[in-house]
């Protein structure tokens, strides 16, 4: 497939780039600094905080799918996930590209946003400890990044595109297993961790699975 990968120099992005190239896909990488790319692929340099729409359109035009691992490098950069994803979506709408897969986070199922002002109080996949201790603590600690990711999900739901959102719990740098668990629309019981490599694996896998379109998918090792 012809794939455009945004944030291919990040933790998940690097894994995704390696796996996509190894699988024989034709990859265009949109990054802030192409010198940090681990592979020689077609590179487009763009800062998604203020990207030129024409440049993004040229990066996605003709792609079979767009994959984004975009997220803030620090809490102070929260806002980039929704802003950058909006720019990506607009480029796709302008060029007629329909399929997009992005990385969100497990707690977002219960985070309110303008498009989803009354989300469920608890995620049906979360157990007692997660509902009553861990989820409230992480949501308090990461309030801004989570609000940004919830808004990013709004942008996708409103886009009319064929989107899939992956909602991983805490990310690790452990190796690819390919044996992670997934669930449509909710988190996984005792699913506290998942490797970046496994998230990247699922990003590629869902491209062959039309049933994942317009779905938020929980993933955990
Ligand atoms: N950490 C966790 O445990 C966890 C858990 C669940 C979900 N998540 C979500 O998963 C996302 C991806 O995780 P990760 O470990 O791959 O994150 P990461 O290593 O911090 O990667 C973030 C990527 O976003 C890019 N980026 C940031 N601001 C940008 C901008 N203005 N323009 C263009 N690109 C920009 C970065 O580009 P550069 O390479 O140029 O910096 C980097 O490639 C996180 O951001 C978070 O939203 C994280």
Pocket flag, ligand 1, residue 105 (CB < 6 Å): yes
Quote the strand ranges of 40-120, DSSP E: 42-45, 65-68, 99-103
Atom of ligand 1 nearest to the CA of 51: 32
Q: Which residue, judged by its Cα, is nearest atom 47 of ligand 1?
A: 71
Give the pLDDT band of residue 25 (cuts 50, 70, 90): very high
Q: Does pTM top 0.85 for this prediction?
A: yes
Please give the residue that has the higher pLDDT: either 78 or 30.
30
Is the pLDDT reported for residue 75 higher than 90? no
Atom of ligand 1 nearest to the CA of 73: 20
Is the pLDDT reported for residue 125 higher than 90? yes
List, for residues 136-149, the tens digit of each pLDDT value: 999 999 999 999 99
Give the pLDDT band of residue 101 (cuts 50, 70, 90): very high
How many residues does the structure list for the chain? 221
Average pLDDT over residues 104-128: 96
Pocket flag, ligand 1, residue 103 (CB < 6 Å): yes
Calculate the average pLDDT of the chain: 97
Q: In a mutational test of the pocket of ligand 1, which residue from 73, 195, 217 has the highest number of ligand atoms less than 8 Å from its CB? A: 73
Look at residue 76 in the predicted model and tell me its pLDDT.
85
Nearest to 166 by CA among 149, 179, 151, 178: 149
Question: What is the rounded CA–CA span in Å between residue 73 and residue 66?
Answer: 21
Question: What is the rounded CA–CA span in Å between residue 71 and residue 69?
Answer: 7
């Amino acid at each position: 497939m012809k794939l455009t990968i945004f944030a291919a120099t990040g933790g998940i992005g690097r894994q995704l780039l390696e796996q996509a190239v190894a699988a024989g896909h034709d990859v265009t990488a949109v990054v802030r600094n192409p010198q940090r790319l681990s592979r020689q692929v077609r590179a487009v340099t763009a800062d998604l905080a203020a990207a030129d729409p024409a440049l993004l359109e040229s990066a996605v035009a003709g792609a079979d799918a767009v994959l984004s691992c975009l997220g803030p490098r620090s809490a102070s950069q929260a806002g980039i996930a929704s802003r950058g994803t909006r720019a990506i979506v607009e480029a796709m709408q302008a060029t007629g590209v329909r399929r997009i897969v992005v990385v969100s986070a497990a707690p977002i199922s219960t985070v309110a946003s303008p498009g989803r002002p009354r989300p469920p109080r608890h995620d049906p996949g979360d157990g007692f400890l997660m509902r009553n201790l861990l989820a409230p603590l992480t949501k308090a600690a990461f309030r801004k990044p989570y609000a940004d990711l919830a808004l990013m999900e709004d942008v996708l739901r409103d886009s009319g595109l064929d989107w899939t959102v992956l909602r991983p719990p805490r990310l690790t740098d452990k190796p690819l297993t390919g044996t992670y668990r997934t669930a449509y629309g909710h988190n996984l019981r005792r699913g506290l961790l998942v490797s970046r490599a496994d998230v990247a694996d699922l990003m590629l896998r869902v491209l062959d699975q039309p049933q994942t379109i317009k779905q938020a998918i929980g993933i955990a090792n």
